[in-house]
Structure 1
Amino acid sequence: MKTFKLVGLKVEQSEQQDKPLKEYPLSDGLIINREDGENRWMIEALLDKTYESDFAPYHAKNKDLCLYVTISKKGNNPAKLQATISSMMTLDNHVSILFEGKMLTSRSNVDPEELLKSLVDDGLSGDALLETFNELYYEKRVMSKS
C-alpha cells in the first residue's frame, strides 16, 4: 500500500444544478492506494464537525458518493472516485470520515478554449468567469476520466 497526503476534497452534489461540486476544507487527510489490482483506495478526511450532517445520510444508507480528490499538491488535477463511507468518528471539534472507493480513470479531451468561449458567450466575465471556468474545466476533465 502507498499513502499520500489528501489536500483537496470535493463531493458531487447531484441535486444542485448551479453548483455541481461542493468543496470541503480539510483539517487533515490521507489517501491510500490499496494496490490490490482493482484500483481501490481508502481516503480519510478530517473535517470541521459542522460538516458531519452533510455526510451522515450517506453513511446511514451506505450510499455511493462521487468524490474528487486532490493528492499531494493543490496544483494537481483532482482524481475521481466512486466511494462509500465505511466509518465516521466524531471528535471534539472535527469529524473523521473514512471512505472506501474505486478510482475512475481514462484520458480527457476537454478543450479549454472551447469551454472558455462558451462561458463568455453565456455572458460571464471577471471573477465569475474565472471561478466557473476553473470549476467546470476540472470537473469536465475529471468526469471524462470515468
Structure 2
Amino acid sequence: MKTFRLIDLKIVRQDETDKQIEEFPLIDGLIINKEDGENHWMIEGLVSKKYRYFFEYLLQEDREVKVYVTITKKSNLPALLLAKVKNITILGEHVSVLLDGKMISSKLRQGSEKVLEGLMKEGFTGDKLLEAFKQHI
C-alpha cells in the first residue's frame, strides 16, 4: 500500500440543492492506494464538525457518491472516485471521515471528455448537450 497526502476533497451532491459539488476544507487528510489490482483507495479526511450530518447521511444511505480528490499538491488535477462513507469519528471540534472507493480510470474519463467535445462540435448546448451526453455514456 502507498499513502499520499490528501490536499482537497469534494463530493458531488445528489440532493435537490442548487449546489452540485460540496467542498470540504480539510484540516488534514490522507489517501491510501490499496494496490489490490482493483484500483481501490481509502480516504481519510479531518474536517470541521459542522459537516458531520452530511457524512452521517451518506453513511446511513450506504450509497456510492462521486468524490473528487486532489493528491499530494494543489497543482495536481483532481482524481475521481466512486466511494462510500465507511466510518465517522468525532474528535472534539473536528470529524474524521473514512471513505472507501474505487478510482475511475483516467482513460474512461478522457474518453468521456472526447465524447463531450464531439457533441459540442456538433452544436449541442445546454439541456440538449446534457441529454446527448447521457445517451452516449
SS of the equivalent of 1:53 reads helix
Give 1:58 deviation, angstroms.
1.0
Q: Distance in 2 between matches of 1:14 and 1:60?
A: 14
Could you tell me which runs of 5 or more consecutive residues in structure 2 were left unpaired when the two chains were aligned: 121-125, 127-136
Gaps of 5+ in 1: 116-121, 123-145
How far is 1:56 from its partner? 0.5
Structure 1 residue 57: deviation in Å? 1.0
Separation in structure 2 between the aligned mates of residue 15 and residue 99 of structure 1, nearest angstrom: 19
Letter in 2 for 1:92: G
Number of positions where the alignment pairs a residue of Structure 1 with one of Structure 2: 118
Return the alpha-carbon distance in structure 2 between the equivalents of residues 47 and 26 of structure 1. Answer: 5
CA shift at 1:63, angstroms? 1.7
Root-mean-square deviation (CA, aligned residues, Å) is 2.5
Letter in 2 for 1:38: E
Partner of 1:7: 7
Other structure's SS at 2:38 match: coil
Query: 1:60 corresponds to which letter in structure 2?
Result: Q
Aligned to 2:27, what secondary structure does the other structure show? strand
5 Å-filtered alignment, 1:126-141, equals none
Q: What is the match of residue 68 of structure 2?
A: 68
> Are 2:26 and 1:26 aligned?
yes
Residues 54-113 of structure 1: per-residue CA shift (max 9 Å, x gap): 11111123221210000001111111111111110001010000100100013323689x
Letter in 1 for 2:74: K
TM-score by structure 1 length? 0.72
| 1:39-78 correspondence runs (5 A) | 39-78=39-78
Moved more, 26-35 or 64-73: 64-73
- Offset at 1:22? 1.2
2:36 aligned with 1:36, yes or no? yes
Q: Once the two structures are aligned, what percentage of the paired residues are identical? A: 44
The one-letter code sitting in structure 2 at the alignment partner of 1:66 is K
> How far apart are the structure 1 equivalents of 2:15 and 2:57?
14
Equivalents in 1 of 2:34, 2:92: separation in Å? 29
User: Which residue identity lines up with residue 66 of structure 2 in the other structure?
Assistant: C
> Does 30-39 or 14-23 show the bigger shift?
14-23
Partners of 2:75 and 2:57 in 1: how far apart?
A: 31
Find the aligned partners of 2:66 and 2:103 in 1 and give their Cα distance: 10
